[in-house]
Amino acid sequence: MTAQARSPVKRIFFAQFGTILTLVVVLMWVDHGAAQSALMGGVICTIANTYAGWRVFSRAMPGSAYGELGNLYRAEFGKLLMIAALCVVYFAAAEDVNILAFVGGCVAAVVANAVGAATQRPDNTNKEQGEQT
């Protein structure tokens, strides 16, 4: 692995962003309003998923199991609050929202997140460092 390898959070963020951009480009030929709704739905879910991933994986050394579980709960609850707040702001600010495209953008971001996380290779740097000391 190279010294400049991307972190899992960045890799998954770019996978979500690429999926959303592909969906928006396809929808631009169908309907510009649908493309805008899909873009906003995807961006809202991508921002929230990136926050949760950063919150969980930003620390170098894991703590106790209870501490890690609490951190996971805080990250997931924060993600849900962020999605709710951003959806309220978007629905209040936008005049024409295509709900189907909006939900499609959210689902595309969530699927890209799950696929990106499932295809992530395990990081063995902590294991190798532990054997060297």
68 vs 85, higher pLDDT = 85
Asked whether residue 14 is assigned to any structural domain, the reply reads: yes
Q: What mean pLDDT value characterizes the chain?
A: 84
31 pLDDT tier (thresholds 50, 70, 90): confident
Asked whether residue 89 is assigned to any structural domain, the reply reads: yes
User: In this prediction, what percent of the chain has a pLDDT beyond 70?
Assistant: 85
Structural tokens at position 96: 């024409």
pLDDT in tens, 91-109: 999 989 999 999 999 999 9
Q: Is residue 126 domain-resident? A: no
Dist CA 99 CA 91 (whole Å): 10
Residue 13 structural domain: 8-117
**Does any domain span residue 42?**
yes
Q: Is residue 26 part of a domain?
A: yes
Summarised one tens digit per residue, pLDDT across range 32-78 is 889 999 999 999 999 999 999 888 877 766 678 888 888 889 999 99
Number of domains within the chain: 1
User: Does residue 31 belong to any structural domain of this protein?
Assistant: yes
Residue 132 lies in a domain: no
In a domain, residue 67? The reply is yes
Pair 110, 79: CB distance under 8 Å: no
Mean pLDDT in residue range 26-37: 90
Backbone angles phi, psi at 124, to 5 degrees: -100, 10
Please check whether residue 42 is in contact with residue 108, taking contact to mean a CB–CB distance below 8 angstroms: yes
Spatial distance between the Cα atoms of 72 and 74, rounded to a whole number of angstroms = 5
